[in-house]
Structure 1
Amino acid sequence: METSEPTGPITDEWIEQHFDHLSPELAREFHPTLARARSRCPVTRSDQYGGFWVTTRYEDVLRIAQDWQTFSSELGITVPNNGPTMKILPVTIDPPLQRTFKRLINTQFTPAKVGPWEEPTRALVNRLIDAFIERGECDFMADFARPFPGLAFFDLALHAPADDFEEVNGYAMQAALPHLPESRESMMKLARWIGALVERRRAEGPRGDVVDAVLGAEIEGRPITTAEVVGTVQLLVLGGLETTAGVLGAAMLRFCAQPEIPALLRERPDLIPAAVEELLRLDGSFICIGRTTRHDTEIDGHQVKAGEPVILYWASANRDEVEFPDPDTFDLDRTSNRHIAFGAGPHRCVGSNLARMNLRVALEEIVRRLDDIKLRPGVDIGFHSTFNRAPHTVPITFTPVARDGG
């Protein structure tokens, strides 16, 4: 695999000609590097991995995401890498077939469907906080951010055994890092687990959930295949675990760096929904996606040939100075926040209602129960940043108090 890892600080030449989305250096200097790209070369062609285009400006990213007739998901969702090539549905197919699969799961994640999950979600959040609040310290990623969305999703959406969560969460974490050699095997292990879950659910009575909806689906007049069932549930698992964890981890880092934010939200919990949107804009963990051109086209005057991959950086678009004045500032008074943290176009994330509810409930309880939050000094946080971004570890201290209820 051809790579060009910067040996020191990321240079303008690297950004303009050798951009490598898998680079650990990019993970460390992520937002500053994307800001330089927006300024110097908002559309550029990298010579890595056989060549691909990088787009970083809001206007271009949004237009490409909406133009599935020109920029296909089916022809290639990522630039070449070591990751799996199996189809994860419906994100690796285009309309009109994509719409058929998306309708199956859309109906299961409407506000009306997600609303009744709020009470059990809040109970789970408080059980997790109870496990560490008396210590006055925790690794927020390991103790809360990673287990919370997965446990909630297993229980409320999939009705899967909670005992399987740790194993499956490990597969999902590795599968989200396609540059690692173990990524492909983790994706296959995840597929096998889903296959076993599906067979178990076939033998059980219906529960009226998303698994039932997928199992009973007809695709273009025929029953859905087992491979299609697995591919669809796989998207739900990958989208429901690591992405929300990444936003929570980044939010906690921001709370530690700007303690006035949790203080304000503790005093004004009515501002938490707006805070969720600003945190998604600034630190959304779904950072980019790939498309492949169906035919010769152009992006901002650059001639792009048929079959060339293009990476769309949602994370960069959400900090575009043209769309968001003072884009790096957490600002609850923005008159417009048209962020695209959940993507855009026909492939926009189906789980946005669930993610927003999870984030809102988590933040409500975190600011209510944790006070004087500080990041433990001298720790290398580290980030993984390929198509999702999340801190490896967020060790924090806070004022120890008794658990709720004594």
Structure 2
Amino acid sequence: MEKPTPNADSMSDEWCRRHFDHLSPELAATMPATMARMRELCPVARSEEHGGFWVVSTYDEALAVAQDWEVFSSAHGLGISSAPTVIRNLPVQADPPEQRIYKRLINPFFTPAAVAPWEQATRELAGRLIDEFVESGSCEFMDAFARPFPSLTFFQLAINAPAEDLEKVAYLASKSSTPDDPEARECWRGLYEWIRDFTRRRRAEPPRGDVVDAVVHAEIDGRPITEEEVIGTVQLLILGGLETTAGTLGQMLERFCAHPEIPARLRARPELIPSAVTELLRLDGSFVAVGRTAVRDAELGGRQVKAGDKVLIHWASANRDAAEFADADAFDPDRERNRHLAFGAGPHRCAGSNLARLNLRVALEELLGRLDGIRLQEGATVEYHRGLTRSPDTLPITFTPGPRRFPKAV
């Protein structure tokens, strides 16, 4: 049977009911409208794609699946159809109580108190990146800022990794997290090998007191942590630290281009920026979906899910559910109740959420303070990275040229 084709605004009803495909480039392009249609037509849908799986698109059902780890397991992988990782990502590819062991290793390094001392260095990194393009009045935002900014802060401040390796690791992380990319399998191998070599070096070096030290020198139930456990834990940190914040920054700037009244409002009232970050995470968070596997028969939204069935939780759709968020598609930094799911929910809620919030707040403060008149370059179209995360592939923008802040390097 030929698959239905999309219309200009969203995918067809038949596609939503039977052929939902999270890897579809058409879904990436029409996601808000298509997911609104999913919530209306089939809050729990059964797709025939990728061997068959369920799609959960409403807030209450997404939260229920995320919190019920005893029925909907993470231990069988997070994707629906993807190139297999060389090693499992920890702690997200484990269920409690095992999951809690690895989560406790990394959590202390990403509390609000732990990341707060990084703010000044983070702000300087943002300022120096902006200096590289602010005088020209234009840039390709993803390459000039959105990707390097969170990657540099993560490499330099969180894991103390060599800055010269960043471009390579960012490429491997991006390709491996795109399930249908022909290079995905090879890039998973490359990422594994880089982490293996990096953590072996760190194990032999004097301790720096960071999360990498905590992982490589950990004990699990009275035994030394294995190399596979070390690599799997650091692998997850890298995927979360490099990919997701970049995608959110890109979508935020795309929103500013389409709605110039938003940056104007935030410049006039900078005290709104922290709450604006929360609201923009709800609307434009790049971690859009995650997979679970039912380990026993269950009922979900009136549908019968069988043991072994795959279930896709669509966070981005849940975050625009009008049953939870009044005027759900509107940007409202004064929203009183904002229990968004941009960082997931349940035992696997993102451990790096405080670092992401710091990066996004500092980035907005610096960008809004220095880039005025932000617009998408004339004739430009935006296409998206697709899969479990969503971000603009490129975002060419123009703005009013401004002065550098730091002296040029000699």
- The answer, yes or no, to whether TM exceeds 0.5 is yes
The residue aligned with 1:101 is 102
User: Any idea what the Cα deviations from partners look like across 1:124-172, whole Å, max 9, x if unmatched?
Assistant: 0000000000101101101000000001100001101100101111111
1:169 aligns with 2:185: no
- How far apart are residue 83 of structure 1 and its match? 4.2
The amino acid that maps onto 1:297 is A
The residue aligned with 2:290 is 289
The residue aligned with 2:18 is 17
- The 5 Å alignment of 1:200-349 reads 200-349=201-350
1:405 and 1:163, CA in 2 relative to 1: closer, same or farther beyond 3 A? closer
The amino acid that maps onto 1:382 is E
Q: What is the alpha-carbon root mean square deviation over aligned residues?
A: 1.3
- The 5 Å alignment of 1:37-56 reads 37-56=38-57
The amino acid that maps onto 1:370 is L
Aligned residue pairs: how many? 404
Q: Which moved more, 1:299-308 or 1:80-89?
A: 80-89
1:281–1:341 Cα contact (<8 Å) kept: yes
The residue aligned with 2:374 is 373
- How far apart are residue 81 of structure 1 and its match? 2.9
CA–CA distance in structure 2, aligned partners of residues 139 and 267 of structure 1:
26
Q: Which moved more, 1:130-139 or 1:19-28?
A: 19-28
1:4–1:20 Cα contact (<8 Å) kept: no
The residue aligned with 1:115 is 116
Q: TM-score, normalised by structure 1?
A: 0.97
CA–CA distance in structure 2, aligned partners of residues 140 and 405 of structure 1:
20
1:141 aligns with 2:150: no
- How far apart are residue 338 of structure 1 and its match? 0.6
- How far apart are residue 187 of structure 1 and its match? 1.3
- How far apart are residue 245 of structure 1 and its match? 0.4
User: Any idea what the Cα deviations from partners look like across 1:339-391, whole Å, max 9, x if unmatched?
Assistant: 01000000000000000000000000000011111110211210012101100
CA–CA distance in structure 2, aligned partners of residues 74 and 34 of structure 1:
27
SS at match of 1:93: coil
The amino acid that maps onto 1:303 is Q
CA–CA distance in structure 2, aligned partners of residues 272 and 7 of structure 1:
40
The amino acid that maps onto 1:140 is F
The residue aligned with 1:387 is 388
2:128–2:406 Cα contact (<8 Å) kept: no
Q: Which moved more, 1:247-256 or 1:81-90?
A: 81-90
CA–CA distance in structure 1, aligned partners of residues 81 and 135 of structure 2:
47
- How far apart are residue 313 of structure 1 and its match? 0.3
- Structure 2 alignment gaps of length 5 or more: none
SS at match of 1:274: helix
The residue aligned with 1:189 is 190
SS at match of 2:292: strand
1:179 aligns with 2:211: no
The amino acid that maps onto 2:338 is N
- How far apart are residue 120 of structure 1 and its match? 0.2
SS at match of 2:380: coil
SS at match of 1:53: strand
CA–CA distance in structure 2, aligned partners of residues 171 and 85 of structure 1:
13
Q: Which moved more, 1:257-266 or 1:99-108?
A: 257-266
- Structure 1 alignment gaps of length 5 or more: none
2:203–2:217 Cα contact (<8 Å) kept: no
User: Any idea what the Cα deviations from partners look like across 1:204-257, whole Å, max 9, x if unmatched?
Assistant: 100000000001111122111001100000000000011000110001011111
- How far apart are residue 307 of structure 1 and its match? 0.6
CA–CA distance in structure 2, aligned partners of residues 137 and 49 of structure 1:
41
1:216–1:223 Cα contact (<8 Å) kept: yes
- How far apart are residue 84 of structure 1 and its match? 2.8
- How far apart are residue 47 of structure 1 and its match? 1.0
Q: TM-score, normalised by structure 2?
A: 0.96
CA–CA distance in structure 1, aligned partners of residues 288 and 104 of structure 2:
24
CA–CA distance in structure 2, aligned partners of residues 5 and 140 of structure 1:
35
1:114–1:354 Cα contact (<8 Å) kept: yes
CA–CA distance in structure 2, aligned partners of residues 176 and 80 of structure 1:
11
1:294–1:307 Cα contact (<8 Å) kept: yes
CA–CA distance in structure 2, aligned partners of residues 271 and 6 of structure 1:
43
Q: Identity of aligned pairs, percent?
A: 59
CA–CA distance in structure 2, aligned partners of residues 8 and 61 of structure 1:
25
- How far apart are residue 6 of structure 1 and its match? 4.0
CA–CA distance in structure 1, aligned partners of residues 264 and 189 of structure 2:
44
1:356 aligns with 2:357: yes
The residue aligned with 1:63 is 64
